[in-house]
Each structure stands twice: as C-alpha cells, then as structure tokens.
Amino acid sequence: YKKKIKFVYQNKPLGTGDAVLKTKKFIKNKYFLMLLPDDLIMKKNCSKDMIKIHKKYKASVMASMKVSKNNVSRWGIYSSSKKLNNQNFVISDVIEKPNTKEAPSNNAVIGRYILSKDIFKILKKQKKGKGGEIHITDSIKTMIDNKSLFIGHKFSGKYLDCGSMSGYINSTLEIAKL
C-alpha cells in the first residue's frame, strides 16, 4: 500500500477522544480507520474485514470481543439490538468502563475503529468523563443516540493486551514464539 501514516502526539493524557480530536486536520475522507497501539490482534487482518463491513453497511465499525463479567470495568462495553450474522451486530448502546452492575453485556470494544468524521463535531463539545478524560466511547454513544449506525465486529484472531505491564510482558512473550 502506498499510504502515508502520520503520528500525532498528545502532550497530556486527556483520553482517547482528546487524542482523536488532535488528528482532525489530517482526516480528509468521510470515514477513517483508527488503531489503538495497546490492542494487538494477531493472525487475521481485522482492519481489512472491518473495511469490508463498513463498505457493505455504510456504517461505523468497532472491533469487539467477549470479556469476563469481572473485567468489564477495563473496557468500553456495548449492547446490541440486532444480529447481522455470527460476527456482526448493530450496536444500540455503549458505556465506558462500567462496573459489573452498569454493564449492559460483556461485549467489549477493542482498539480498532472505523469512524465517521462527524465524530469531531461531538468531540469538540464532549465533556470530560470518568477519570477526567474525554472518552471516544462517550462521543460514540452520542452518535448512536442520534441514530448513527455502528456495527460491532467480533474479529477472528488472537487478541494481545499491551495496555498494562503484565499484558505487555505476556504479549512480548507471545510474539517471541512466532
């Protein structure tokens, strides 16, 4: 592929929403692909599958996987209103890092997104959420509430968590086996 990749730095840890907002001037297309570096998906190309889904449904797409109920507070968690097939669902609600009682399911959003650039309008107005951060999940919830179509894609492949020290070490060991 002859695509340019640009890196944008976030000087203060103000959340994923703040980081995405800093990329606005680089986004030229109606939709863009966002990959979070602390979530690795091995083997199958999740992004390629998500692009196919996006083209088919003309919708935003988020990678997802089931997590244990005890771990829902580590993730953005969504509920779905309609099953499209075995791997894809229409997302009806999403909440950032809920406790086990707040969680609408155990379907977690993983760091792969295809988003409409309409998200920037929402992010500009987004108030800080949990932990004093601007969460992309809160803006996605606003878009869903405003009838934007979001699809959850249960990807094929192995997920590696690099977002904690133990996850990073385990991921490094897993990659070393390749």
> Mean pLDDT by 10-residue block, N- to C-terminus, for the chain (178 residues)?
78 94 94 91 86 97 96 94 95 95 95 97 94 94 97 92 90 88
C-alpha span between 121 and 127 (Å, rounded): 13
The answer to the question of residue 166 being in a domain is yes
- 10 within domain boundaries: no
Whether residue 50 is contained in a domain is answered as yes
Position 2 in a domain:
no
Cβ atoms 88, 55 nearer than 8 A: no
Domain harbouring 139, CATH code? 3.90.550.10
- Count: domains in the chain: 1
pLDDT for res 104: 95
Which residue segment(s) compose the domain that 63 sits in? 16-176
Beta-carbon contacts of residue 90 (< 8 Å; ≥ 6 apart): 80, 81, 82, 84, 149, 150, 151, 152
Please report where in the chains the tokens 């999740």 appear, as a residue. Answer: 46
**Which phi and psi angles does 75 have, rounded to 5°?**
-135, 165
Residue 79 CB-density burial (10 A; 0-12 exposed, 13-18 middle, 19+ buried):
middle
Asked if residue 8 is part of any domain, the answer here is no
Cα gap 77→102, rounded to integer Å: 10
Give the per-residue pLDDT at 1.
57
30 domain-assigned: yes
The tokens describing 32, both together, are: 């863009």
Inside any domain, residue 39: yes
Q: Is there a domain that residue 7 lies in?
A: no
